[in-house]
Amino acid sequence: MRYQGREVDIEGRVRLVMESALTARDRVGVQDFVLLENYNSEAAFIENLRRRFRENLIYTYIGSVLVSVNPYKELEIYSKQQMERYRGVSFYEISPHIYALSDNTYRAMRTERKDQCILISGESGAGKTEASKKILLYYAVTCPTNDHMAILGDRLLQSNPVLEAFGNAKTLRNDNSSRFGKYMDVQFDFRGTPVGGHILNYLLEKSRVVHQNHGERNFHIFYQLLDGGDDDLLITLDLERNPQNYRYLVKGNCPRVSSISDKNNWKVVMKALPVIGFTEEEKLLNIIASVLHLGNTQFGEGEEGDTYITTETQTSNLAKLLGVDGSALREALTHKKLTAKGEEMISPLNYEQAVSARDALAKAVYGRTFTWLVEKINQSLALKVSKDSSVIGLLDIYGFEVLQQNSFEQFCINYCNEKLQQLFIELTLRSEQEEYETEGIAWETVQYFDNKIICDLIEEKHKGIISILDEECLRPGETCDVSFLEKLEDTVGSHPHFITHKLANGKTRRVVSREEFRLLHYAGEVNYNVNGFLDKNNDLLNRNLKEVMCQSDNQILSHCFRREEVIDQKRPEMAATQFKNSLMKLMEILMSKEPSYVRCIKPNDAKQPGRFDEVLVRHQVKYLGLMENLRVRRAGFAYRRRFEAFLQRYKPLCPETWPNWHGRLVDGVSTLVNHLGYKAEEYKLGRSKIFIRFPKTLFTTEDALEYKIFLGVNVCTCVFRCVVIVIQSGWRGMKARRRAKRRRQAAELIRRFIKGFIYRHEEYCPENEYFLDHVRYSFLKNLRQNLPKSVLDKSWPTPPPSLVEASEHLRRLHMRNMVIKYCRRVQPEWKKQVLFSSRLVFVNPVDDAEGCSQRDLQGPERHNACLCSSQYGVSVIKYDRRGFKPRPRQLLLTNTFAVLVDRTKIKQRIDYAALRGISVGSLSDGMFVLHMPTEDNKQKGDAVLHCSHVIEVVTKLAMMANKTSYVNINPGSIRFTVARGKEGIIDFIRGSELKVAKGKRGHLLVVSQRLF
């Protein structure tokens, strides 16, 4: 059931209904007319509309129907934030809005999986098209989408300006009046993403192409093309910019309108056309231009009553634009083809006939192009995946229209509104009755006017006005509009809703002319002038004009004018019957969907903001059937809510239901209303809802709730305040006491410290005990963080006098500890090596007590053993030949060779015999180089060494090697061999401090003082 669906959100959760309509009632009228106490009073209804309109509250509900009053000004209620506010929110929770209706329809479609439709009605200029655009925009913005669907959404939105350019026009009532009916399906997939769209168009007001009433214009596109098209385009189309030059544009005498920017709208349309799949090859604009040229095609009368075209050049251009043969067109415009007894005859048209043939062609070309345009848009919106889709239909169709002179078009439009009203009554009543049935509540008959009688008058087969019109069009012999009127008088003259001048009594006769018939519509009386009825219903285009158009090389026109149409001798359906049939189909479509309604009201005829013309509004309230709607909706009960929602809201009012009711919901509601003293006639309990008859009952309950909340809040506030004060003062006192205590302790501490400092050299006594303890404590804490880390580190913090002895104790202890730790870390292998190398270096073989001999040793040790003959050993630093990295080595001299040893490993052996020279610098740097033969592959090059006893080493080596003459002293630099053929250089520079480092150009730079 619809109302159930309305109150349950997507997850099926019952929302807490905030009843904004109730709480806001005292401020600006009622948000829902069902809460009007005097729901039968039209004055109360209008007053409520007026009060809200004055506050820019343009939307009000009648149950689930949205009534909208055109504000004629931009209101800031359509932003994205507003859309978010209404998203997923229940109808009654928030102020009435077109977005609330859009959202509820969307959610109903998703949760109930049933197609929906939104019927927007109202008179011209009441805001129907704006409402439909807002609904579309709401879906485009809030529905889930993806890239592909975004393109579709864009097309849906872009199709609007195009349709408006071709199908809307300025009328006296609306500067942007839709001159066609539009029903648009938006298709959604199972995720709720819009996936496609389809438009059905109804009865374009084609007569506007050739004629406009005073103060009105032709369709927007003509003016847009002339104003916005660039010069080249106009030249190509052979057009001039001034609309005054075109007869079809000046009938209404207002080609320019200040509120319309044709130039800007042209740009919008040109931008939208490619989005919805239009190509330039289709030459749509040629057709628009050709209509203007047709309008300027003039005829002259020949002597024999025949006609000829006086605007020859115009016609040539026209033929070019239409893509047809010029002479064939000329002939078709001035002659007609007849078939008599199987023979074809051509007869000339008289002046009037030629003019009407021309106009018929213009209307046909424009009307068919419009239909093609809608088809084209439909192709671009076509649903790509059709599985499991749901639909929301939007009906934006012309509202009830009463002009000074009402013709065939108004007759069709008002007939359409009769049908919609019937559907509305039927569906609203049906849904109400269903609701009562579901809830098990007896239906109380509602008095309302059933307009079926008027629909029958118009559409009944054989007896209805449309049938009579068709008959008159088809009847052989002399027929004319007046004969049609007479036929009407004969056939439906006795109908209570039909009057003519002849049938009327004296008073009415004065307001119905002889050429008119009056229909008493549900919304009011309308006089229709029969002039033109037959022609318009016939909608005839001469056969030879059709033949010419079939041969057009314009893609659109050849699509619109089919050859079959010429060959087929069967007469096509008359315009009114076509319209009737399309309306029947529309009703079927709408009946198959769940409807929602937007009823638009126009507040004044001057299109002015802030003006509320009561007479005009009352008229619309009447013909929109809003009072009837309200009566049906109220049908005995003003208010209904599901038990959960009702109990949730009002449970604080009854001790048994507060805070929670654990029994059956219906019992809870029953207990609650009994406690509130509801009388039996004031309410009824259905199966899942409570129905309350009078708004007064509900308002009293609501007031009681507000009072309760007010009291509750007040009591809570008082108690809360007291508690807060007690806690605050207690807390502040405690904090102050703590602060004072801390201050006292700090002062005492400082006092003791100062006293201690004064007595620091005294024996340990109460005066200095705190200070000395503190100093000791500080020393130990500092010592703990600064203990030496290695045995070689001799640093130790200075102890205070009272701790000198203890400090020394600790130092020794710590040292011993470190030594023990170090020894524990020494591995047995390492111990052996240390022992061995110390022997190598320091033990003379002659004095070797342990008798290390070559015989006892094997392998590498045997090789090492040869070192036992070492005569002299010294620590040196060896510099790598390339990177000059310093490496600690032992240089050992034996009788025949020298070796460089790294711990126990011999790194280099230098035979004295091979030694080519010994170089030293002239400064006190300690550097010396042992030059080796380059051809000796075993040698790695010269040895670059440093020793603090360089003189001693060099002397010893030179003597032992017997090469004293090989010693060179080089003052500036020493060259040495790095490897075969490669050289290194040591540069010596005088400086205050010894420094050995890699210098420029890869040299080893030695900075040192002079030797002496």
Ligand X SMILES: Nc1ncnc2c1ncn2[C@@H]1O[C@H](COP(=O)(O)OP(=O)(O)O)[C@@H](O)[C@H]1O
Asked if 332 contacts 545 with a C-beta cutoff of 8 angstroms, the reply is yes
Compute the least distance from the CB of residue 621 to ligand X, in Å.
16
Q: Which of 68, 129, 290, 334 binds Mg ion (CB under 5 A)?
A: 129
Q: Is 122 annotated as a binding residue?
A: yes
Contact 67, 40 (CB under 8 A): no
11, 12, 13, 74: residue in contact with ligand X (rule CB under 6 A): 74
Please report how the helices 626-634 and 408-439 are oriented relative to each other, as an axis angle in degrees rounded to 10.
Answer: 10
Work out what residue 479 binds among Mg ion, ligand X, none; the CB cut-off runs from 5 to 8 Å by kind.
none
Q: Any binding-site annotation on 628?
A: no
Told to check if 56 binds ligand X by CB under 6 A, we report no
CB of 541 to ligand X, least distance (A): 30
- Tokens 């109380």 belong to 444
Helix (H), strand (E), coil (C) string for 304-324: CCCEEECCHHHHHHHHHHHCC
- Applying CB under 6 A, among 63, 127, 161, 464 the residue interacting with ligand X is 127
Residue 218 sits in the site that holds Mg ion (CB under 5 A)? no
Among the residue ranges 106-114, 176-184, 414-422, 914-922, the one whose residues contact ligand X (CB under 6 A): 176-184
- Using CB under 6 A as the binding rule, whether residue 71 contacts ligand X is answered as yes
- 129 in a labelled binding site: yes
Q: Which stretch binds ligand X (CB under 6 A): 70-78, 199-207, 720-728, 955-963?
A: 70-78
Does position 174 interact with ligand X (CB under 6 A)? The reply is yes
- Which element (helix H / strand E) includes 68? strand 65-69
**Footprint of ligand X on 921-940 (CB under 6 A):** none
Residue 177 within binding range of ligand X, rule CB under 6 A: yes
399: phi then psi, degrees, rounded to nearest 5: -85, 175
Question: Distance between CA atoms of 775 and 949, rounded to whole angstroms?
Answer: 49
3-state SS assignment for residue 175: coil
Calpha distance 875→375 (Å, rounded): 104
Using the rule CB under 6 A, is 178 a contact of ligand X?
yes
Site for ligand X in 598-637 (CB under 6 A): 600
Cβ closest to Mg ion, residue 178 vs residue 837: 178
List Cα–Cα distances, 1007 to 643, 816, 828, 882, 999, in angstroms.
Answer: 103, 41, 42, 19, 11
The stretch among 68-76, 250-258, 476-484, 816-824 that binds ligand X (CB under 6 A) is: 68-76
List C-alpha distances in Å: 413 to 181, 205, 580. 9, 10, 11
> Would you count residue 802 as binding Mg ion (CB under 5 A)?
no
Helix, strand, coil percentages in the chain from 3-state DSSP, rounded to 5: 50, 15, 35
Distance CA 879, CA 885 (A): 5
Tell me the per-residue interface mask from 84 to 123 with ligand X, x by CB under 6 A, - otherwise: --------------------------------------x-
Could you give the residue numbers annotated as active site?
124-125, 129, 174, 177-178, 399, 401
The answer to whether 124 is a known ligand-binding residue is yes
Footprint of ligand X on residues 986-1005 (CB under 6 A)?
Answer: none
201 near Mg ion (CB under 5 A): no
Q: Positive or negative CA dihedral for 567, 568, 569, 573? A: negative
Q: Which stretch binds ligand X (CB under 6 A): 138-146, 175-183, 316-324, 356-364?
A: 175-183
Count interface residues toward ligand X (CB under 6 A). Answer: 18
Instruction: State the nearest-atom distance from the C-beta of 596 to ligand X, in Å.
Output: 17
Told to check if 129 binds ligand X by CB under 6 A, we report yes
Site string for Mg ion, 178-197 (x = CB under 5 A): x-------------------
> Which does residue 600 touch among Mg ion, ligand X, none (CB within 5 to 8 A, set by kind)?
ligand X
How wide is the angle at C-alpha 414 spanned by C-alphas 176 and 519, nearest 5°?
140
Distances, alpha carbon 38 to alpha carbons 23, 33, 44, 640, 697, in Å: 19, 10, 7, 18, 14
365 touches 549 (CB < 8 A): yes
437 marked ligand binding residue = no
74 binds, among ligand X, Mg ion, none (CB under 5 to 8 A by kind): ligand X
What ranges in 685-827 are assigned the alpha helix state H? 695-758, 769-785, 804-825
- Among 115, 130, 205, 472, contact with ligand X (rule: CB under 6 A): 130
Task: Please state the three-class secondary structure of 95-107 as a single string.
Answer: CCCHHHHHHHHHH
What is the distance between the alpha carbons of residues 91 and 104, in angstroms, rounded to a whole number? 7
* Residue 390, annotated as binding a ligand: no
Residue 126 marked ligand-binding: yes
74/232 with CB nearer ligand X: 74
Q: Which stretch binds Mg ion (CB under 5 A): 124-132, 277-285, 735-743, 799-807?
A: 124-132
Cis omega (within 30 of 0) for bond into 886: no
Which residues sit at the interface with ligand X, rule CB under 6 A?
70-72, 74-75, 122, 124-130, 174, 176-178, 600
Which residues sit at the interface with Mg ion, rule CB under 5 A?
128-129, 178
Binding residues for ATP: 122-129
